[in-house]
């Protein structure tokens, strides 16, 4: 059976591309993916696979019960897009102004729908049950994973697997790690409230730009001077907004940024250090501030046995595929919540395109579409291997 399944994945490539490109032209941002969810549901209607929609929001969960006994395994794909204006010149570029699939979720959806179509054709010889989890709102916290889990619709699942088409990973390569794989992703917002005035009379002001600049500089020392060198953390200030004229000292400044960690104790150290730095700087300049820190997705921590399974068995699906155990990356993913609840693993499917490569979330982002069959085969093999354990 499985050899036929993997051959059928290759044969489905053109349809996979067609589906991906359709989704790419009609992107929807997190929590607004109504039409995308309807498209997914209509595909399951056509396949005759029972499903539930509006799960935890805009989520869609389909269930295919094989005729043979076995375990229940979930395979997950996200389907939201980003508020980015597309700058590629592909013929299938976004038709929605200011919104694009800049992270590959259109590809993830196409992959999982293809897996569902192929496995449903082998239902009579399929062991166990496969649950296809189409998740909304991965890009923005609080995300879609936790609301889906809170519905209880996955309580019966024995394990969960997912993949991300990843342009930093070479085509033909599957990357994962045993244990920490992706970082916890937090965000913060800081507003400095000083006293504005004339640019020629700084002594009569409380310069919010100077205060905020000092804070930015000191925040960069948290990782190098407050965190154990054997631990990992990132503190990034992403925006700095202040001022309205060249000769006016601004009365306020706003900073936003992100913190990435793998350990709760490191996260606590960073938060405490940030609060002390901000409080100290504002006290020195007699300014006020408002600091909001939002804990986001926890780190993606793969279960060792399931990650070992990915590394060991994926080439059984396609002998051209190479697996690598890699260091964790500092990007975040709400797949973390599934792994808090169930055994499983998350992995990257190499989708580095030929020529110039643009990173995820870039307006010129694109991925190698020939990686989609690799992702489909890897997910199917993960299902197969877990059934055979």
Catalytic residue chosen out of the listed positions 28, 33, 80, 207: 80
**Angle between helix 13-25 and 34-47 (nearest 10):** 150
Question: What distance in Å separates the CA atoms of residue 48 and residue 379, rounded to the nearest whole number?
Answer: 21
Nearest to 122 by CA among 250, 281, 3: 3
Nearest to 138 by CA among 297, 362, 253: 297
What is the CA 112 to chain-centroid distance, rounded?
16
- CA quadruple 207, 213, 216, 219: dihedral positive or negative? negative
Residues 350/235/137/339 CA torsion (nearest 10 deg): 70
249: part of which helix (H) or strand (E)? strand 248-249
Where helices occur in 57-129 by DSSP H, the ranges are: 105-120
Catalytic residue chosen out of the listed positions 33, 78, 86, 138: 138
Residue 138 among the catalytic residues: yes
Residue 80 among the catalytic residues: yes
User: What values do phi and psi take at 238, rounded to 5?
Assistant: -95, -30
Query: β-strands 322-325, 173-176: how paired?
Result: parallel
199, 244 Cβ separation under 8 angstroms: no
**Angle between helix 2-11 and 371-387 (nearest 10):** 160
Active site residues per annotation: 80, 138
């Amino acid at each position: 059976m499985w050899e036929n399944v993997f051959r059928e994945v290759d044969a489905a490539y053109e349809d996979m591309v067609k589906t991906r490109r359709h989704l790419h032209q009609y992107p929807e941002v997190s929590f607004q993916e109504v039409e995308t969810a309807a498209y997914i549901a209509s595909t399951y209607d056509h396949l005759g696979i029972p499903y539930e929609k509006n799960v935890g929001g805009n989520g869609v969960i389909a269930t295919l019960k094989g005729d043979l006994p076995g375990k229940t395994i979930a395979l997950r794909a996200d389907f939201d897009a980003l508020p980015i204006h597309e700058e590629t010149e592909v013929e299938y570029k976004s038709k929605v102004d200011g919104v694009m699939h800049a992270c590959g979720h259109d590809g993830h959806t196409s992959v999982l729908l293809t897996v569902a179509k192929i496995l449903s054709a082998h239902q009579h010889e399929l062991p166990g049950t496969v649950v296809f989890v189409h998740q909304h709102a991965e890009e923005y916290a609080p995300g879609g994973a936790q609301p889906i889990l809170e519905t209880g619709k996955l309580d019966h699942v024995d394990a969960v697997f997912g993949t991300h088409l990843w342009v930093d990973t070479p085509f033909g390569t599957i990357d994962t790690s045993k244990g920490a794989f992706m970082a916890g992703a937090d965000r913060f917002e800081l507003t400095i409230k000083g006293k504005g005035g004339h640019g020629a009379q700084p002594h009569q002001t409380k310069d919010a730009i100077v205060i905020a600049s000092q804070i930015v500089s000191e925040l960069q020392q948290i990782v190098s001077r407050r965190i154990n060198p054997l631990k990992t953390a990132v503190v990034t200030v992403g925006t700095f907004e202040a001022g309205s004229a060249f000769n006016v000292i601004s009365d306020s400044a706003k900073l936003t940024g992100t913190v990435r960690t793998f350990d709760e104790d490191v996260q606590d150290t960073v938060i405490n250090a940030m609060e002390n730095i901000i409080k100290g700087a504002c006290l020195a300049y007699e300014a006020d501030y408002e600091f909001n820190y939002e804990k986001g997705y926890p780190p993606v921590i793969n279960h060792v046995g399931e990650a070992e399974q990915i590394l060991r068995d994926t080439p059984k699906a396609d002998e051209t595929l190479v697996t690598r155990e890699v260091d964790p990356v500092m990007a975040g993913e709400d797949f973390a919540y599934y792994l808090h609840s169930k055994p499983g693993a998350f992995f990257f499917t190499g989708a580095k395109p030929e020529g110039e490569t643009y990173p995820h979330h870039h307006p010129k982002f694109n991925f190698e579409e020939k990686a989609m069959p690799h992702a489909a085969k890897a997910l199917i093999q993960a299902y197969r291997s877990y059934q055979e354990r």
